[in-house]
Structure 1
Amino acid sequence: MDQSPETTPTPQRTPQSAARNRPRPRTDWAGLKADLRSAVPDATAALVVTAVIYAVLYVRVDAGTSMTLDVMPFLADADEYWMYWLCQAFGWSAMLWAWITTLFGLLRSSSRWSRMPVGHARIERWHRTTSLTTIGLMFAHAFMFFAELVRQNEEGLGRADLLVSAFVDVFVPGGYATGTGQVAILLGLIAFYLAIPLGLAYYFRARTGARLWRVLHRFILVVYVLSVWHTLLYGTNVWFDGWFRTIVWALQVPVAALLLARLLAPARPSERLRLRDPATRPRPLPAAARLGGRIAVAIGVVVLLGVTFTGRDGGRTPGAEAGEMAVGEGMVWAGLVLLLLVVAAAVYVVRRDVRPARSTADG
């Protein structure tokens, strides 16, 4: 017997079904807030490390053993220039946290470490929280340099033009136009401004798509390279050859080794290079790019080992006149344009491949 509309029971909507039917947010604000909360202990540890580094720098300056004083002897008064030394401390802790988060990211994306006592999910969460801390430390590093430039002008807080001048020197790419900082600060700013969108792209993956997010996030390694370059070029503590500079180079060896391991055995099966199996062999261009990347990284590991053990990396010699810089500001801008073109090409390829898949699914 047919039921009339009045007697037809209406389906009961459970909270679970309502949650499934609710449209997925385009931006993962909940995930970002959760990661920010989880990053509080990590950021606290970073501040403690920054304080320790500041104390070490202060003691070295007070004792007159800091190599920075060979370059800028007027900084010998650590109490007067405390903002500058705090800027340096934030820079070193930012470099350390960038190293840590890069290691976590490479461990997470490689299949060689599947038997680690810590699961991939926890490593990924550590990677996200340390990435957020790194961005914060990079900003603190730049801000304290800005504060020091303002402090050096007695009327800085009362004259807007001096504030604008300091802001341009510190936060505008190409604004600092004297000495080594003309290139070094430009490299640091490019790294900082790239770290923000590439590091936070994870929380917009619902907008971009998971595949495009993964492609964009791989360029975060460029940020790390630029950060190391900025440190070696402008960190006056490591201008000269010595154990401090050797440590910076030695830290890059595990990064390069993990990158090579990740390229040889990526966690995602679709990214593995299979040249012998015709059924899974990729197209010629992607296969050549993957093979070339593995060879280039392998050569890089050998070079890093050679530089670390020999100590010959082109660093300056105390008392000797420095030669001309091998890379100028124009070359950095050209490299940035080339990088952005590569990123744009990668985005275009991903979106082009996604459209046919969507059309097929809709059909």
Structure 2
Amino acid sequence: MPSNEAGAGHPASAGESHTEGEEHEPRVPQENGTGAPDLARSALVRPPASAPAPAPVTLRSDLRASAFDGSAALAVTAVVFAVLYARIEAKTSSTVTVMPFMADTGAFWMYFLSQAFGWSALLWAWGTVVLGLLLSGPRPARLPLSGPRLERLHRTTSLNTIALIFAHALLFAAELIHHSKDSWLGALGTTFVEVFVPGGYDSGTGRIAIPVGQAALYLALPLGLLFYVRHRIGPRTWRAMHRFVLVVYVLSVWHTLLYGTNVWYDGWFRTTVWLLQLPIAALFLMRLLRPARRSQRLRGLGEHPGSPAGWSLRLVGRVAAVGIMVVLLAVIITGRDGGRVEPPPDTTSTHNHD
């Protein structure tokens, strides 16, 4: 889900004006009136050697560059899996409260691994959004990475986020197949519908949470890959579509809060999820207040070059961003977000878990 709405600092942008095969004509030393070349004058006017054009950014190059970032994501997933597993073993996770049969860690380890991939996917999506907001809005004066390296990291975290979401969904599907009483082929078909077809999962909270997660997955894939064909669809179209990346992240958080059994109930774990949203809300507000593109700046209504409707929309966006900040602070301070405060009366599942 790469982002560079301003277009500045992108490795590909720096070389877009370069034409393959273009060469600079060498300057011929001028004569100084005596019939001999004026070498001193020619040395002063000789053009400097042009720097080599940066390598084009392609999906293949970014996939190679994402190896280190992907390894870090797998390491984080392993740590999260160990924590979730230990909490289940100690019966301190609310997952055991919701589904007591899950206390059998040996039988449901794939489910916990799916949860771990889901958490690392959410964390990598968080990092991708933060990097995108840093690139498209005002950034701190001192950052450990240069602009081009920051952009490349943004692209690699985006690709790894998509991979982590897929792993999360596939392991959840594998868990359903493993505990199904149907034949292998029948279980495969039923599970595909439940996991990948909107509306196919009809059990409890999953009737809402699963479609929300599917929407995040099916939006993340094209929005993340459209960057690599932006020259074909046009930069303006790409920028307009790329703004929906934030929607993908919101859907991912919503899916987690709805279906993540270890954050079902109010407590420090759920409050931490909301705490992570505070930097994104702050960066988003800064992005609106100080946009990189002059046309998006909010000036007086009479001074704004756009239509009154556009001015009003930008004003509403800034007011909404401030309201989101206020709500987040209230949730973090009180530890309450209107979610569940006690186990529901029925925690059974329509699936067979033998």
* TM-score past 0.5 threshold: yes
Choose the corresponding residue for 1:293, options 285, 303, 317: 317
Question: Matches of residues 193-272 of structure 1 in structure 2 within 5 Å?
Answer: 193-272=218-297
Q: TM-score under structure 1 normalisation?
A: 0.78
C-alpha distance in 2, partners of 1:40/1:222? 27
C-alpha distance in 2, partners of 1:177/1:320? 18
C-alpha distance in 1, partners of 2:286/2:57? 33
> Does 2:55 align with 1:38?
no
Instruction: Give the match for residue 309 of structure 1.
Output: 333
C-alpha distance in 1, partners of 2:114/2:286? 35
Choose the corresponding residue for 1:75, options 102, 115, 124: 102
C-alpha distance in 1, partners of 2:66/2:160? 7
State the Cα distance separating 1:162 from its structure 2 match.
1.6
Instruction: Give the match for residue 12 of structure 2.
Output: none
Instruction: Give the match for residue 358 of structure 1.
Output: none
1:303-324 Cα distance to aligned partner (Å, 9 max, x none): 11111111121121234648xx
Q: Equivalent pairs: percent with the same residue?
A: 56
Q: Which amino acid aligns with 1:229?
A: W
State the Cα distance separating 1:63 from its structure 2 match.
1.3
Structure having greater relative contact order (Cα 8 Å, sep ≥ 6):
2
Choose the corresponding residue for 1:106, options 133, 149, 166: 133
The SS at the match of 1:173 is coil
1:17-57 Cα distance to aligned partner (Å, 9 max, x none): 65469xxxxxx996111111111110110000000000011
Mind listing any 5+ residue stretches in structure 1 that lack a counterpart?
A: 1-15, 22-27, 323-363
Choose the corresponding residue for 2:198, options 169, 173, 198: 173
Cα gap change, 1:154/1:30 in structure 2, threshold over 3 Å: closer, same or farther? farther
The 8 Å contact of residues 275 and 281 in structure 1, kept in 2 or not, is answered as no
Mind listing any 5+ residue stretches in structure 2 that lack a counterpart?
A: 1-17, 24-54, 347-354
Q: Which amino acid aligns with 1:291?
A: L
Cα gap change, 1:167/1:42 in structure 2, threshold over 3 Å: closer, same or farther? same
C-alpha distance in 2, partners of 1:218/1:143? 27
Cα gap change, 1:283/1:84 in structure 2, threshold over 3 Å: closer, same or farther? same
Q: Which amino acid aligns with 1:90?
A: F
C-alpha distance in 1, partners of 2:172/2:22? 49
Choose the corresponding residue for 1:318, options 327, 330, 342: 342
The 8 Å contact of residues 188 and 230 in structure 1, kept in 2 or not, is answered as yes
RMSD: 2.1
Number of residue-to-residue matches in the alignment: 298
The 8 Å contact of residues 301 and 308 in structure 2, kept in 1 or not, is answered as no
- Identify, as 1 or 2, the structure richer in helix: 1
- Structure 1 stretches of 4+ moved >6 Å: none
State the Cα distance separating 1:285 from its structure 2 match.
1.6
Cα gap change, 1:114/1:61 in structure 2, threshold over 3 Å: closer, same or farther? same
1:70-116 Cα distance to aligned partner (Å, 9 max, x none): 01011111111111010000000001111111100000001243554
State the Cα distance separating 1:287 from its structure 2 match.
1.3
Instruction: Give the match for residue 150 of structure 1.
Output: 177
Instruction: Give the match for residue 137 of structure 1.
Output: 164
Choose the corresponding residue for 1:58, options 65, 80, 85: 85
Question: Matches of residues 269-288 of structure 1 in structure 2 within 5 Å?
Answer: 269-275=294-300, 278=303, 281-288=305-312
1:117-173 Cα distance to aligned partner (Å, 9 max, x none): 53322222111110100000000000000001111126643xx22210011111111
Q: TM-score under structure 2 normalisation?
A: 0.80
Cα gap change, 1:87/1:19 in structure 2, threshold over 3 Å: closer, same or farther? farther
The 8 Å contact of residues 80 and 116 in structure 2, kept in 1 or not, is answered as yes
1:260-309 Cα distance to aligned partner (Å, 9 max, x none): 0011111222322232673x532212111111111111111111111111
Instruction: Give the match for residue 350 of structure 1.
Output: none
Instruction: Give the match for residue 122 of structure 2.
Output: 95
The 8 Å contact of residues 93 and 262 in structure 2, kept in 1 or not, is answered as yes
The 8 Å contact of residues 101 and 130 in structure 1, kept in 2 or not, is answered as yes
Question: Matches of residues 183-202 of structure 1 in structure 2 within 5 Å?
Answer: 183-202=208-227
